[in-house]
Homo-oligomer: A and B are copies of this chain.
């Protein structure tokens, strides 16, 4: 890093994407080319191109063994830095689908089957069809993204380290907060979910990652709301649930949850915490290559049941209201889901995050981001679990 006072290391470069999986998909479908169209918010395109891109549509074309990016002229330098392939900037005022068709033609592909992601913008699909191509949707990109390369795992480890920094900051603040009547007070004022959220996000920024709008901080009843974004003041004895999912400069997300209680009187929240801790341990213990993803969920649910919580509660009711985990990569939610009966493979990276909620009491969730290894699993960055917040 370039100065002693700075929190985080320099950004990692984005990993490269090997296009071999695309060539295999083309062969299997007897297709001439693959086309994807989208903007900077399209994570398949981010994975395919590593281009951090504009907020308007651009196109990626794989044809004749080559990768082509049709980028806006103003982004030519950035595309050249980030993309491993040919950058085309001509005809930039044409719609991306029209530019993709021109790139196909320039690659010698003048008709035949073209594979596209199912979510390709409808106008781009229509432009390609009008240019004489038959479109067939493919899940090849989502499939390739299910397992991570070592370079991708490094990006996940790095951003999860940032998530841990944010959590440590939150725990430090909670450990220093003092009950004052029915409120928690910190640094001279009531401590709210919004104050805590801002401090965590500032820690992320100093570390060189983005909060990506995903910093969920709920307290008491709002901890049972999975996507709370309000400004409630924290109270002694209630659950404070933090779910942090920063995004690194390479596009990979972290994901980490902890739940703390300041000044607990040991009621519902203590029982819930013990149950969730046990569920997390049981779920983690299930992870190894060849195990089934939904068995991980089943182990977590069984442990919660054994502790007296409903493992199949509806959203808004009391119990376990969601799945045990989801894949994480350049999307925060991707394959595999721990609801699927798929076999776990080395290199899969996903969250394990059992939780129990009660709209009248609060919510408890503990979450680790793990990767499947040849031996079992790796927690991508360790951070202690603790019911009462403790200062370092």
Q: Interface of A with B (CB < 8 Å)?
A: 2-8, 10-11, 41, 52, 54-57, 73-78, 116, 118-125, 135, 137, 186-192, 194-195, 198-199, 201-208, 210-213, 225-227, 229, 231, 233, 247, 249, 314-316, 321-322, 331-333
Whether the Cβ atoms of A208 and B187 lie closer than 8 Å is no
Chain B residue nearest in CB terms to A207 = B198
Whether the Cβ atoms of A11 and B231 lie closer than 8 Å is yes
**Could you say which residues of chain B place their CB within 8 Å of the CB of A119?**
57, 121-123
Whether the Cβ atoms of A315 and B123 lie closer than 8 Å is no
Whether the Cβ atoms of A77 and B120 lie closer than 8 Å is no
Copies of this protein chain in the complex:
2
From B4, B135, B226, A188 is in contact (CB under 8 Å) with B4
Whether the Cβ atoms of B52 and A229 lie closer than 8 Å is yes
Known: A2-B231, A10-B231, A211-B210. Is A56-B198 also a contact (CB below 8 A)? no
The CA of A198 and the CA of B9, in the complex, are separated in Å by 11
The CA of A60 and the CA of B82, in the complex, are separated in Å by 35
**Could you say which residues of chain B place their CB within 8 Å of the CB of A135?**
122
The CA of A213 and the CA of B198, in the complex, are separated in Å by 17
The CA of A224 and the CA of B54, in the complex, are separated in Å by 17
In the complex, which of the residues A188, A205, A231 has the most CB atoms of chain B within 10 Å of its own CB atom?
A205
Known: A57-B119, A73-B315, A123-B119. Is A52-B213 also a contact (CB below 8 A)? yes
Q: Chain A's interface: helix, strand, loop or mixed, by majority?
A: loop
Q: Can you add 7 more A-B contacts, CB < 8 Å, to A118-B121, A201-B210, A203-B205?
A: A5-B187, A6-B189, A11-B194, A11-B231, A198-B208, A201-B205, A204-B205
The CA of A123 and the CA of B120, in the complex, are separated in Å by 8
Whether the Cβ atoms of B77 and A198 lie closer than 8 Å is no
From B57, B122, B191, A125 is in contact (CB under 8 Å) with B122
- Can you report 21 A-B residue pairs in the complex whose CB atoms are below 8 A from each other? A2-B189, A2-B192, A2-B195, A2-B231, A3-B186, A4-B189, A6-B189, A10-B194, A41-B41, A52-B229, A55-B333, A57-B119, A74-B226, A77-B315, A78-B225, A78-B227, A116-B122, A119-B121, A201-B205, A205-B205, A229-B249
Closest Cβ–Cβ distance, residue A97 to chain B (whole Å): 10
Whether the Cβ atoms of B2 and A187 lie closer than 8 Å is no
The CA of A189 and the CA of B78, in the complex, are separated in Å by 28
Known: A75-B227, A121-B119. Is A205-B202 also a contact (CB below 8 A)? yes
**Could you say which residues of chain B place their CB within 8 Å of the CB of A123?**
118-119, 137
**Could you say which residues of chain B place their CB within 8 Å of the CB of A77?**
225-227, 315-316
Whether the Cβ atoms of B74 and A322 lie closer than 8 Å is yes
**Could you say which residues of chain B place their CB within 8 Å of the CB of A78?**
225-227, 229
Chain B residue nearest in CB terms to A39 = B41
**Could you say which residues of chain B place their CB within 8 Å of the CB of A41?**
41
The CA of A188 and the CA of B49, in the complex, are separated in Å by 38
Closest Cβ–Cβ distance, residue A118 to chain B (whole Å): 4
The CA of A231 and the CA of B52, in the complex, are separated in Å by 16
Closest Cβ–Cβ distance, residue A215 to chain B (whole Å): 9
Closest Cβ–Cβ distance, residue A200 to chain B (whole Å): 8
In the complex, which of the residues A208, A210, A231, A331 has the most CB atoms of chain B within 10 Å of its own CB atom?
A210
